A and B are shown apart, each in its own frame.
Chain A
Amino acid sequence: MMGNHFSIILLPTNKCNVNCEYCFEDKTDDRMSLVQLSDVINKALDHMERANIAALTIHWQGGEIMTMPVEWFERAYDLIQNAAASRGKLIDHGLQSNMIGYNSRWNPIIERMFDNSVGTSMDFPNVHRKLFNGSSTDYTRIWNYNVQTALDAGIRIGVIAVPNQATLDTGAEKFYSYFVDEVGINSFQVNTPFPGGEQNDAKRSLGLDVDQLGQFFADLTDVWLERGYGTVALGPIDELIKTFTDASGSLPCIWQSNCADEFISIDARGFVAQCDCWVTSYPEYFFGNIYETDNLTRMLAESRARRKFVERPAMVIPQDCIECEYLSLCHGGCPVRTFTFSGTMFEKDPYCHVYLAMFRKAEEVAAKLSGQRARPGYKFIPKGLADKRNSAVQIDGPPFPGRLNLVQIERR
């Protein structure tokens, strides 16, 4: 059911320290205690043993993760690693924070537990990310300061950015320059927005013109190729190009064959659902409560809500995705994006046209880069011969920088 690796998006707190207008999580003040965490980990390890899963990645987020005490994480890390070691399982960790509550006290645990890297989020221009006083300017100022402090401390920072209408109006050049030149980031990922959770005016404005958004991604690809190829990781574009080049790309969760095979999310109240949006905002899609079950495997197997996620590709693909030349890359896209725009998850992702534009662009770029490497004379390699290609025509791997452990989740 889960393969030999799976992930948990773990929300030890549902509380947040900011007030972003477009957040898809409906927040509460709940926090997970270490006793509850121990319960979660033991049940996850039981599940891994039953399902013969060797490794687990925990993606820590909230709410806002840095509303929890540093000391809680120090004890949590020891607790988890000891439990995993006693069962012969591997657990690694990723951290996603808005960085508003960051200070240098976090540095030791970030290094010890999170491989000295943090994933954070920022948009350009920042329209929707706001403090509780309503200021997006103050939010950006604090975020910038804290990110610079973390970078100066040697922490690697990856950023998830969500385009808004102002992003499209400003254009890819300035967007790229902000993150790479101004902030000094060399790893960022651009996600598409969706109106999850309780509705408001900001969320109603999130739907962007798909042609304009597709063009933005194409322009951003060109800017990156000219200025950052080989030095800056730009997801998911760089991974798409790798995928088209030699199938080595690691694509985000929205394009996995079925996200239900890859991960679950657990929040501070113990609720289990498909991902962080579902677990915080859509009770009717909860798989159950981990505090109330003694068998996570059975809960996942018997959950009628989870069954819908498992069955989604089989329901969606015959509609028209089966005719798509990029079926292998997308598999109908993201359930939560579909659900929040369409009211059902049993349709293809509403960003289909954007994805098509990205795939075509990435394929075109990969062909161009591969052609340059393969030198004249190269024109035809039957793709079915990938594993039997003469080494003389193997395409050299492009010098992509390493990616940070950002959500959206990449398949291991």
Chain B
Amino acid sequence: MGSLVYNVPASKVDLYRGCDIVVRSDDVTELAAALLRCDPSKVRFIQLLATPADTSALEGSFYSLPLEIHLSDPANQYTRLYDYANLLDSHPIRVSLKLAPGFSKAVKLAVSLNFPVKLELDHPDAELIAELGSVLDLYLHRGNVRQPIEPFHSLLLSFCRDEPVSLWQIAEEDPSQVCFVTEGGEETISERFIDQKELQPIRYAELFQQQASSSVECSGCAFYGRCRGYFKWPDIEYDCAGVKQIFATLESSAKELQQDLAAFHEMEVQMQS
């Protein structure tokens, strides 16, 4: 089982004793009960897959254990986030959500309640790309957004610092780091790979490379270093024009930031001398 982090259903935590784990469930009580059977130092975070009104089983207990609230239907679930604002007093909280029409409302409310956000990009169509663009603008330019929105945040830092990063890592789908355990106990990379059962997860890394390198769009793409074919799996025909525009906006914003910082440092030197 190595140093992988296993994302396991609460019902299967006993099978992964000794491993670093993420525990997930749509039931707060089940999560709390599973945590009592775990070594707390091995639990990276817990994942709540539904939006129940009553989270009292987690309030004031398992103090400082990070919690991810997952919205599978963000446009209809987002107002439930108000129920979790006070959990911030006892847990770091992140909201993860699927890109579905109207998801930007959930992002906006989540950051308004001081929740960091993780977007599950998958294969956004033109409508979702437009909505993604509006969320990127919110992240970059609205003064009241104080929390990271991933993957924008990590990508922007990467561009700013000229540091390498992989979208697979940011999305927590890098098979060298994470392993998703299905309800049936099968191991794969993430939820979107549940149907890809014929290969062991670690083999996907090679397959990504092969598939991406066979894509003309990837081989000529300026952002391949950070994307690494993320959007070409499993559909190699996916048109990346929209996501490339998102990358381009992040890159140009990073350049602008670098210029501002350089100008500031230059002025500081002048003032000191």
A residues at B contact (CB < 8 Å): 1-5, 51-53, 243-244, 247, 257-258, 261, 310, 313-315, 317-318, 322, 325-329, 331, 363, 366-367, 374-388, 390, 392-393
User: How far, in whole Å, are A375 and B105 apart by their CA atoms in the complex?
Assistant: 35
Q: Are B61 and A52 in contact (CB under 8 A)?
A: yes
A2 with B109: CB separation less than 8 A: no
Contact assessment for A388 and B264 in the assembled complex, using a CB-CB cutoff below 8 Å? no
Are A380 and B146 in touch, CB under 8 angstroms?
Answer: no
Known contacts A52-B90, A322-B105, A327-B112; is-contact A314 B82 (Cβ 8 Å): yes
- Could you tell me if A52 and B59 are in contact, using CB atoms closer than 8 angstroms? yes
Q: Say whether A382 contacts B257, CB under 8 Å.
A: yes
- Cβ of B140 and Cβ of A382 under 8 Å apart? yes
Give the interface segment out of B30-38, B120-128, B147-155, B221-229: B147-155
- Judge whether B152 and A326 touch: CB under 8 Å: no
Q: Given A313-B79, A381-B257, A384-B140: A322 and B265 within 8 A (CB)?
A: no
With beta carbons under 8 angstroms apart, the residue of B82, B90, B111 that contacts A257 is: B82
Contact between B264 and A327 (Cβ–Cβ < 8 Å)? no
30 A-B pairs with CB atoms under 8 Å apart are: A1-B86, A3-B89, A4-B60, A4-B89, A51-B60, A244-B144, A261-B85, A313-B79, A313-B82, A315-B79, A317-B79, A318-B105, A326-B144, A327-B108, A328-B113, A328-B144, A331-B112, A377-B263, A377-B267, A380-B253, A380-B260, A383-B139, A383-B143, A383-B145, A384-B149, A384-B152, A384-B153, A385-B153, A385-B156, A392-B268
Tell me how many residues of B have a C-beta within 8 Å of chain A. 46
Contact across chains for B144 and A377 when beta carbons are under 8 A apart: no
Which residue, of A314, A329, A367, has the highest number of chain B Cβ atoms within 10 A? Answer: A314
Docked Cα-Cα span, A243 to B112, in Å, equals 13
Q: Is B203 in the interface zone, CB < 8 Å from A?
A: no
CB nearest to A367 among chain B residues: B143
- Across the interface, B260 reaches (CB within 8 A) one of A322, A377, A386, namely A377
Interface Cβ pair total, 8 Å cutoff? 120
Question: Would you call B261 and A390 a contact (CB within 8 A)?
Answer: yes
Chain B residues with CB below 8 A from A393, complex form:
260-261, 264
Q: Which residue of B lies closest to A331 (CB)?
A: B112
The residue in chain B whose Cβ has the minimal distance to the Cβ of A312 is B82
The verdict on A375 contacting B86 (CB below 8 Å), with A322-B105, A385-B157 known, is no
With beta carbons under 8 angstroms apart, the residue of A1, A314, A375, A376 that contacts B59 is A1
Output the least CB separation between A412 and chain B (Å): 10
Residues on B with beta carbons closer than 8 Å to the beta carbon of A3: 86, 88-89
Residue of A325, A363, A382 with highest tally of chain B CB at under 10 A: A382
In-complex Cβ contact of A258 among B56, B85, B256 (8 A): B85
Residues of chain B whose beta carbon lies under 8 Å from any beta carbon of chain A = 56, 59-61, 78-80, 82-83, 85-86, 88-90, 105, 108-109, 111-113, 139-149, 152-153, 156-157, 253, 256-257, 260-261, 263-268
Roughly how many angstroms separate A367 CA and B257 CA in the complex, as a whole number?
17
Interface centre among B109, B139, B142, B153 (most CB of A within 10 A): B109
Q: A52-B61, A258-B85, A378-B263 are in contact. List 14 more A-B contacts (CB 8 A).
A: A3-B86, A247-B146, A257-B113, A258-B82, A313-B79, A318-B79, A327-B112, A329-B144, A376-B267, A377-B266, A378-B264, A383-B141, A383-B143, A388-B157
Contacts of B144 in A (CB 8 A): 243-244, 325-326, 328-329, 383
Closest A residue by C-beta to B261: A390
Judging by beta carbons under 8 Å apart, are B109 and A244 in contact?
no
Question: A residues within 8 A CB of B157?
Answer: 385, 388
B264 touches A392 (CB 8 A): yes
Q: Specify which of B61, B80, B108, B143 is in contact with A314 (CB 8 Å cutoff).
A: B80
Cross-chain contact B82 with A386 (CB below 8 angstroms):
no
Chain A residues within an 8 Å CB radius of B56: 1
Closest chain B residue, CB of each to CB of A256: B85
CA gap between A382 and B154 in the complex, in Å: 12
Residues of A within 8 A of B88 (CB): 3
Residue of A nearest to B55 (CB): A1
Picked from B142, B147, B266, the residue with its CB within 8 Å of the CB of A325 is: B142
Q: How far is the CA of A1 from the CA of B156 in the complex (A)?
A: 36
Q: Contact between A384 and B109 (Cβ–Cβ < 8 Å)?
A: no
Whose C-beta in chain B lies nearest to the C-beta of A2?
B86
Q: Residues of A contacting B79 with CB < 8 Å?
A: 313-315, 317-318
For the complex, give the distance between the alpha carbons of A247 and B113 in Å: 13
